């Protein structure tokens, strides 16, 4: 079991409020990702759940029991750190087994569990090596092994993949997701990478400046962003925003159109503009178009259009996919 509930959790460092009252219910067995720009408080929120920081107000409940004031060791959670934080003087076996040793298990029992965890993570040949003799990906696996071996109520991941190179990151992303599904243990995962958030999460918490902006499944956030911030943060390339006259025609203060919902053509209907940059990815083309009276819009089109810098182009938004936002930034009903 491992449900985590936050009730009005607040945190300040001296006079600086970092988390302004967070309410959140994380169901047992779900994979929840905290995402947001740097400094939004996502890591702090994770550390409050872990008990590595004390809350300034509110309650943290694990399986319904208030754990405020309970030391991290007694919360039954395990954590994977961004820096891996392996014990440099211990072998892989010692690292993975440390938590079990602290729990006072028999040596034979520890060995059995450590070897089972190592087998799951393909670490068996490295059990007697020291962390410095391992590659980045292997160290990451050891850190994950240390977390799973204790069969915790929940895993806490603090940007665990950000020190890996791009290819390894994609591979580890899949492995972590698979492992979590297999173990069916609650996971809370912090990242600033919205691709990681979209691909791994059952539900995403979008944080901004210490506030939870929206909590929902990846597709909910993509299709029904609650406000301008979430609309701009989720999706890549980011949503185009048009304010002023162009928006008033739709009865909104601001309208948003995702690049994939803008159809680019050489002539026909839509906003007229000039291509300032064309990014050719092969499968897609990102066109950055200067539209007079509106600004720069990004359009994503499948395949090649043969457009290059300076060409004139028409951009037609899909009318069903125009997001409308009120003056306070909140989304308006479609």
Whichever of 77 and 305 has its CB closer to other proteins, that residue is 77
- DSSP-derived 3-state class of residue 122: coil
Environment class of residue 107 by beta-carbon count within 10 Å: exposed (0-12), middle (13-18) or buried (19+)?
A: exposed
| Angle ∠(258,261,267) on CA atoms, nearest 5 | 125
- Residue 189: beta bridge partners? 33, 157
- Residue 301: beta bridge partners? 285
Whichever of 134 and 206 has its CB closer to other proteins, that residue is 134
Minimum distance between the CB of residue 30 and other proteins, rounded to whole angstroms? 21
Minimum distance between the CB of residue 5 and other proteins, rounded to whole angstroms? 20
Whichever of 103 and 195 has its CB closer to other proteins, that residue is 103
Whichever of 97 and 210 has its CB closer to other proteins, that residue is 97
Minimum distance between the CB of residue 73 and other proteins, rounded to whole angstroms? 4
Minimum distance between the CB of residue 91 and other proteins, rounded to whole angstroms? 13
Whichever of 164 and 234 has its CB closer to other proteins, that residue is 164
Whichever of 160 and 235 has its CB closer to other proteins, that residue is 160
Place of tokens 């965890």: 117
Minimum distance between the CB of residue 130 and other proteins, rounded to whole angstroms? 12
Whichever of 47 and 261 has its CB closer to other proteins, that residue is 47
Whole-angstrom distance, CA of residue 22 vs CA of residue 86: 31
Helices (H), the chain: 42-50, 92-102, 107-120, 136-148, 166-183, 194-200, 218-223, 228-233, 245-248
Minimum distance between the CB of residue 106 and other proteins, rounded to whole angstroms? 16
How far does Cα 163 stand from its chain's mean position?
15
Whole-angstrom distance, CA of residue 166 vs CA of residue 130: 25
- DSSP-derived 3-state class of residue 238: coil
Residues 6+ apart with CB under 8 A from 152: 2, 76, 77, 78, 185
Q: Within a 10 A sphere around the Cβ of 323, how many other Cβ atoms?
A: 22
Closest CA to 32 of 5, 54, 13, 53: 5
Closest CA to 324 of 221, 218, 228: 228
Whichever of 82 and 111 has its CB closer to other proteins, that residue is 82
Whole-angstrom distance, CA of residue 142 vs CA of residue 95: 7
Interaction site with other proteins (CB under 8 A): 50, 52, 71-74, 77-79, 81-83, 85-89, 98-99, 102-103, 146, 150
Minimum distance between the CB of residue 100 and other proteins, rounded to whole angstroms? 9
């Amino acid at each position: 079991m491992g449900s985590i509930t936050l009730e009005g959790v607040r945190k300040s460092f001296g006079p600086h409020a970092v988390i302004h009252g967070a309410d959140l219910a994380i169901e047992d067995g779900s994979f929840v990702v905290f995402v947001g720009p740097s400094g939004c408080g996502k890591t702090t929120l994770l550390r409050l759940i872990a008990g590595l920081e004390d809350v300034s107000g509110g309650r943290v409940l694990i399986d319904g029991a208030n754990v405020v004031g309970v030391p991290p060791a007694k919360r039954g959670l395990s954590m994977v750190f961004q820096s891996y934080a392996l014990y440099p003087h211990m072998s892989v076996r010692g690292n993975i087994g440390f938590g079990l040793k602290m729990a006072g298990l028999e040596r034979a029992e520890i060995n059995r569990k450590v070897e089972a965890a190592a087998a799951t993570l393909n670490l068996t040949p490295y059990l007697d090596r020291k962390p410095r003799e391992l590659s980045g990906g292997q160290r990451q696996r050891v850190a994950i092994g240390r977390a799973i071996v204790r069969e915790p109520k929940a895993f806490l991941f603090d940007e665990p993949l950000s020190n890996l190179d791009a290819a390894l990151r994609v591979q580890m992303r899949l492995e972590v997701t698979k492992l979590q599904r297999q173990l069916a243990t609650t996971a809370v995962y912090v990242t600033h990478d919205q691709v990681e958030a979209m691909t791994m999460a059952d539900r995403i918490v979008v944080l901004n400046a210490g506030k939870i902006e929206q909590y929902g499944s990846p597709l909910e956030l993509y299709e029904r962003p609650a406000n301008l911030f979430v609309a701009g943060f989720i999706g890549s390339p980011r949503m185009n925003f048009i304010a002023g006259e162009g928006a008033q025609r739709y009865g909104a203060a601001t309208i948003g159109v995702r690049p994939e919902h803008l159809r680019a053509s050489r002539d026909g209907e839509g906003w007229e503009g000039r291509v300032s940059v064309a990014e050719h990815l092969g499968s897609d083309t990102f066109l950055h178009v200067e539209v007079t009276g509106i600004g720069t819009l990004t359009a994503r089109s499948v395949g090649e259009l043969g457009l290059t810098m300076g060409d004139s182009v028409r951009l037609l938004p899909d009318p069903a996919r125009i997001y409308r936002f009120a003056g306070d930034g909140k989304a308006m009903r479609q």
